[in-house]
Amino acid sequence: MGCHQSKPCRCCCCCCRRRPAEPRPAGPTRPADFLTGCTVGSVAVPSAGLTLRYSSLSQRGHYPDSPDRLNQDKLAVLTCLRSDPDLHLFCVFDGHGQFGSECADFVKETLTQTLLSDPDLPGNPSKAFESAFCATNSLLRSSPIDDSMSGTTAIAVLVRGASLVVANVGDSRAVAGVLDERGEVVAMELSKDQTPFRKDEYERVRRCGARVLSVDQVEGNKDPEVQSWGDEEGDGGGDPPRLWVRDGLYPGTAFTRSVGDSAAEAIGVVAVPEVMEVEITPELLFFVLASDGVFEFLSSQAVVNMVASYEDPRDACAAIAAESYKLWLEHENRTDDITIIIVHITDSRNAVNEISHVKPKILGTSNQLHGNSELQSCPDLSLERSPACVAPSPEHTSPKM
């Protein structure tokens, strides 16, 4: 999962990398604001005969060197959008960099309000998501927040009647639990992490002029000509591939898309989302959105297994957060911020014995960076070098000082 320089640190300096866990007391002291953003509720989706039972939890990371560090993760749960009982929105934002908390807050408020005001949302949610992400990125750049080396990922799931519309920028993740023909609950990926581990994203940012190297390669400890870093689940032994400008040691992002990070836009780090629409069938039991504080050490299937073992989504949230926290401290001397939203889907029209065990259909996908002419409507995008390249404004050609 992507970050600046190291997974939990999110900073932009070559000195930061994963450190092994050190001897410590039984557990770090948890401050009063350790848990935030906890919500629980239920809402009907009348046109589809569905009921959504949801819970969320956001847990501040443990940073021994920065005990007052803010939780940079944010979440949003908005039901009955535009007074429509069939539209419900769930989002997770994972801020990074010095002003990551401010960026995540700004994007949370601006993106959701932009979506709410877009008349295309009910009928063409893919277009609405793409417009909202690009507009939010442009507004963040013009805001007082210094987003040159700070920004946020964003994962959003819109329940739209009998379908889920998933929009992703970055390496937070959405996954569904689907009942298969053996009666087992299996993970169905609703998003794909946007990192240099992906061949398509690697090639896209390279076309935009990015150097893709691990920190060890930048520091001369490994051959920079070797463009292979293993797979994302292994995360390159804690030293994943990162993006660098041609003649500089910044920005060092381990993701290929984000909102903000204006210093990285010239090398292809963009706010254009990948959008997927999935049919809700009786086999689709629940979905989960989470920041990479969860998925750093837990696979999608492990998370789905934990959700499936609890009837109450509140209990599942607590269990996943606790397990993620424990695994972080087994590997390192700190933890990332951890944020989870779990949504159980109950189909009142179908009894259990009517389940057909047909995997939910993907109704459509959208990726503005692969030849769509509408790309030109996204602010700050340039087609001169590559369909994915960004032409930064003069004040963003290097990090702000």
Query: Nearest to residue 18, comparing CAs of 175, 193, 234?
Result: 234
Task: State both tokens at 249.
Answer: 């040691």
Prediction pTM value:
0.82
Compute the average pLDDT of residues 89-107: 97
Q: How far apart are CA 4 and CA 18, in angstroms?
A: 12
DSSP for 61-105? ---TT-TTPPP-EEEEEE-SGGG-TTEEEEEEEEEESTTHHHHHH
Q: How far apart are CA 328 and CA 27, in angstroms?
A: 12
31, burial (CB in 10 Å: exposed 0-12, middle 13-18, buried 19+): exposed
Query: Nearest to residue 132, comparing CAs of 94, 90, 167, 82?
Result: 167
- Taken in order of first residue, the domains within the chain and their CATH numbers are 35-193+270-387 (3.60.40.10)
> 27-70, pLDDT tens digit by residue?
444 444 455 557 889 999 999 999 999 999 999 999 999 888 99
> 135-159, pLDDT tens digit by residue?
999 999 999 999 999 999 999 999 9
Q: What angle do CA 226, 232, 235 make, to 5 degrees?
A: 75
> 300-309, pLDDT tens digit by residue?
999 999 999 9
Compute the average pLDDT of residues 330-335: 92
Compute the average pLDDT of residues 308-313: 96
Q: Of 352 and 80, which is predicted with more confidence? A: 80
Q: How far apart are CA 178 and CA 314, in angstroms?
A: 20
Compute the average pLDDT of residues 323-347: 95
Question: What's residue 356's pLDDT?
Answer: 57
Q: What angle do CA 193, 320, 152 make, to 5 degrees?
A: 40
DSSP for 18-30? --------SSPPP
Q: How far apart are CA 270 and CA 260, in angstroms?
A: 8
Instruction: Read off φ and ψ for residue 75, nearest 5 degrees.
Output: -145, 160
Compute the average pLDDT of residues 155-170: 98
Q: What rounded mean pLDDT belongs to the chain?
A: 83
Question: What's residue 224's pLDDT?
Answer: 76
Question: What's residue 230's pLDDT?
Answer: 66
Residue 122, pLDDT > 60, answer yes
Q: How far apart are CA 119 and CA 117, in angstroms?
A: 6
Query: Per DSSP, which regions of 143-295 are E strands?
Result: 151-160, 163-169, 173-179, 185-189, 211-213, 242-244, 251-253, 259-260, 274-279, 284-290
